Amino acid sequence: MKINWGTGIVLAFIGFISFIMFFVIRMNTNDKYDHDLVTEDYYKAELEYQTDINKEENAKDLASNITWKRTSEGLVISFPKELNVEQIEGKVFLYRPSNKQVDFESSISLSNHNLLIPDKRLLDGRWNIKVDWQYNGNSYLYKKEIVY
């Protein structure tokens, strides 16, 4: 059977469309290529963005801000020394951009000015840390991208 140029063009189109459909179906069915939004309630978080900006401005007005360092026990978050630790309350959020299954949230409970997050909870790599805390009725926010 002889194939003329019209039949060749039709076969080329069918082959190209099949090739594209194969990759579209593969990308939609494979969990490896599944990417989610940063947060589930993205639009709600966007509406609260101005309050976060105000909290960050409050934190800049402090004499010293939160610091962190990696130790053999884990991640140590240090609060300002001039503050009374009994009046500090809030939450620490650790977000892993590459794997949402290891994200976690922890309440702040201090006996001294340091909060320890154990090494077993943290994987090596990039983390986004967010400390949302209150002291004497004022709200503060510390956000940082860290490599652990």
Taking 90 as the threshold, does the pLDDT of residue 85 lie above it?
no
Q: What's the pLDDT score for residue 137? A: 85
Q: Is residue 100's pLDDT more than 80?
A: no
CATH fold group of domain 42-147 = Immunoglobulin-like (2.60.40)
Looking at every residue in the chain, the average pLDDT score rounds to 85
Residue 11, pLDDT > 90, answer: yes
Contact in structure between 113 and 72 (CB atoms under 8 Å): no
Angstrom distance (rounded) from CA 24 to CA 33 = 11
Tell me the CA distances in angstroms from 140 to 58, 79, 80, 128, 134, one per residue in order. Answer: 6, 11, 12, 17, 6
Domain definitions of the chain by residue range? 1-34, 42-147
Measured on CA atoms in the order 119, 122, 123, 124, is the torsion positive or negative? negative
**pLDDT value of residue 119:** 82
